[in-house]
Structure 1
Amino acid sequence: MSWSEFYIVVSGLITLVVLLIMFPWLRRANHAKSDSLNNIQIVKQRLAELEREAREGLISEHDKRQASDELKLALVDETHFEHERKGKATIPVIIGAILALGAGIIVYAQVNHLSEVDRAQQAISSLPALSEKLSSGNMQDFTGDDVANLALAIRTRLREAPEDDKGWMYLGRLQMSLGQDAQALEAIQRALAIDPQNRQNRITYAQALMVSGDEAQLKEAQRQLQLLLRANPGNDNIALMMAVASAQLGDAKNTRQYFDQVKDKLPADSEMARRITARLDELEQRALTVPTGSTQDQAGETGVTLTINLSDAVVGQVPEQGYLIVFAQDALSDNRMPAAVVKMPLPSFPVTVTLTGDNAMIPGYSLAQLQRARLTARISVDEDVAPAPGELQGQLTEEIGQGEMISRELIIDKELM
């Protein structure tokens, strides 16, 4: 709804309120006027009767004049009383109308959340500046308010133009950057449904599916990438994505096929190439050592089992609903990408969480590649992995033994500022 439409609706509602207040008063005024005219007519009729009775000798001339004077005085008194009553009623009616209008405006403002409407308008006004800031690559300069305003502006635009596939795609990418994987996937699916022929939409959809690490979604990502490769088999970027998705699924054949297509074009020091190579070696070695139909022995797996509990200082600050996010990072480098992540609805404490290679975000980079890990447990009201003020967190740093499972206790003991 535009602001002009909003003002028209508000004006109409105010007019309706005024009419509802004034209608009974106007109706009484019409009745009073009608009664006054009827009384005058009755007085005139009675005066004519007195005149006739005097002519016929039924009453004396003195009695006629006295009766006539009394009727006229009674009519004057009644007319004066009606005017006085009307004057006294006007002030209460005006005061009542003002109070009703005031109450109506307050209730309307509360029910329709005018402050949120104003915020949405401000967010739309700031959209060009935020878009320029985002396109310039200054994402690190974005504040929490900038991100919230950008998301709100995009959502507001989408209410006005729900068939805008670019708007849904922008919203999905923004949510992906915030770690809101489920919401991002839903927005990107909307964009793809609106324009299924858009190749970039399909690529972004495949990327969103790969982020989750879920087997069913990885298979769907692989299917989407196969459709893209049929149309453009020489696209190295899509081939690399296919190799990564296949590696995550443990599909050694497709991983080898598409990695061979792009490996010579990757930089010599490419971290992605190193991880895919390590994962491919692992898959091919497993194929040699694990007989068909058997399950892999879990002995020699690298991982950490954490018993997570709350300190007395934060017990009263735990939200009723939220998420527990547990992850491991390399403590010996500036790399902030988690080597393993577990995200779950907020459980009862204490709770035991195990981090292994199965919880890696990307193939070839897991706890097995770390010598020393920074282990973090965080309580968040949403699924966003980025830290936010008010969230609760605990941390510890541990040596990682290759091929060993270690057990530690991790206490959530502080509030993020």
Structure 2
Amino acid sequence: MSWSEFYLVVSGLITLVILLIVFPWLRKANHAKSDSLNNIQVVKQRLIELEREAREGLISEHDKRQASDELKLALVDETHFEHERKGKATLPVIIGAIVALGAGVVVYMQVNHLSEVDRADEAIRALPALSEKLSSGDMQDFTGDDVANLALAIRTRLRQTPDDDKGWMYLGRLQMSLGQDAQALQAIQRALSINPQNRQNRITYAQALMVSGDEAQLREAQRQLQLLLRANPENDNLALMMAVASAQLGDAKKTRQYFDQVRDKLPADSEMAMRLSSRLEELEQRASTVPTGSTQEQAVQTGFSLTITPADAIIEKIPDQGYLIVFAQDALSENRMPAAVIKIPLQSFPVTVTLSGDNAMMPGYSLTQLQRARLTARISVDEDVTPAPGELQGQITEEVINGEMISRELIIDKELM
């Protein structure tokens, strides 16, 4: 709503309030005037009747004059009373109208937060200049008001255009600079969901994941970086980020692989290089002390660890007996042959299952042959993988990364028709 429209609406509301207050008073005043005129007519009529009665000898001349004087005095008293009552009522009505209008304006301003609206408008006007400073990385000149105004302006703009991935990314970067990691991650995830093909969005997402130090988020950062490096393996910035994420996770093999790619390109006195060298030495020394044949020396399988949960809407449709069938198919081809499948009797949810090369249906065709997998969980009354009406199903699509087990949640949320 523009300010001209706002003022027009407010003017209309004020006019309506004035009419509601004044109309009953005007109506009452009109009634009083009408009653006064009626009384005058009645008095005149009575005076005529007194004249006639005196002529006909029904009353004496003295009685006629006395009755006439009484009627005139009564009319004067009534007229004086009406004027006095009108004079006393006008002032309270005016005061009441002023108070009502003042209260209405105050309440309207409080309810509609007009000061916040003004501030939002000012922030939006300042958005181009603030965005330029943010894009250039020139944050040292930012004041507290600049940061607050920029955040407000971006949020206001995003309410108007919620599918603007650049706006969500700006908001995420700003929140990262303020140390609001959780909020920043949510904003960046929103930007990535709107435009998943934007490479810079994915890089920023990986950076936000690495800030927390949480193992699950570090593994997701490692996965995102693996996808980026698959498309651009010579990118030294991505390789350095992968080395850092792997070092935090304690993955000596990948730390060595990607640190070796960038080691000679870092300055000799680089603090990052010294930290990575120290961490890598620690990890390799720890690995050398692990006995041969231990769990840590075994190769990590490729696949998915899926936590399967039914949506609230389909819980009542789950049969008492049946099977949970979980399988993976190639999402990039028309081949419907499952690369891995698990069938287990129904049990209490949530259920966690692992799909890996051990669950391949055919030799030579497993998850390691896929780049992107369509993961399906289906509740069936029999063990047949073929879909049938009435069965319950959920699906997600994920990238396959060789040598990694990726944890995901899969929700069964629809009934097959």
TM-score by length of 1: 0.60
Q: Which residue of 2 aligns with 1:236?
A: 236
Pair 235,50 (structure 1): closer, same or farther in 2 beyond 3 Å = farther
Residues 138 and 59 of structure 1: is their aligned pair in 2 closer, same or farther, counting only changes over 3 Å? same
| Partner in structure 1 of residue 226 of structure 2 | 226
Partner Cα distance (1:200, 1:138) in 2: 19
Cα distance 1:221–1:16, how it changes in 2: closer, same or farther (>3 A)?
farther
Partner of 2:149: helix, strand, or coil? helix
Unaligned ranges ≥5, structure 1: 297-417
Aligned residue runs from structure 1 range 135-174, under 5 A:
135-174=135-174
Letter in structure 1 aligned against 2:190? R
Aligned 1:12-411 pairs, distance under 5 A: 12-43=12-43, 46=46, 50=50, 53=53, 58-59=58-59, 63=63, 67-68=67-68, 70-291=70-291
Q: Distance between the aligned counterparts of 2:125 and 2:262, measured in 1?
A: 44
Q: In the alignment, residue 272 of structure 2 is paired with which amino acid? A: M
Partners of 2:196 and 2:52 in 1: how far apart?
99
Q: 1:266: how far off?
A: 4.1
Q: CA deviation at 1:251?
A: 1.9
Mark the structure with the bigger radius of gyration. 2
Instruction: Tell me: CA distance 1:229–1:38, structure 2 relative to 1, closer, same or farther (3 Å).
Output: farther
Counterpart residue type for residue 96 of structure 1: G
Say if 1:61 and 1:184 are closer, same or farther in 2 by CA, change over 3 A.
same
How many residues align? The count is 296
Q: CA deviation at 1:5?
A: 4.2
- Cα offset, 1:200, TM superposition: 1.8
State the secondary structure of the residue aligned to 1:163.
coil
Distance 1:147 1:40 in 2: 76
Percent identity, aligned pairs only, is 89
For residues 231 and 34 of structure 2, what CA distance do their matches in structure 1 show? 86
Listed as ranges, the gaps of 5+ residues in structure 2 are 297-417
Q: CA, structure 1 residues 42+136, in 2 after alignment: closer, same or farther (shift >3 Å)?
A: same
Alignment root-mean-square deviation, CA: 3.4
- Residue type of the partner of 2:142? F
Q: For 1:98-149, what per-residue CA distance to the aligned partner results, in whole angstroms no more than 9, with x for missing partners? A: 2333333344444544444433333333333333444454322223232223
- Give the distance between the partners of 2:24 and 2:154, measured in 1 at CA: 48
Give distance in 2, aligned partners of 1:87 and 1:79. 12
Shift of 1:283: 1.9
Q: Which residue number corresponds to residue 305 of structure 2? A: none
Which residue is equivalent to 1:316? Answer: none
Deviation track 1:63-87 (CA, whole Å, cap 9, x = no partner) reads: 5565456435533442343234223
Distance in 2 separating the partners of 1:227 and 1:159 = 32
Secondary structure of the corresponding residue to residue 140 of structure 2: helix
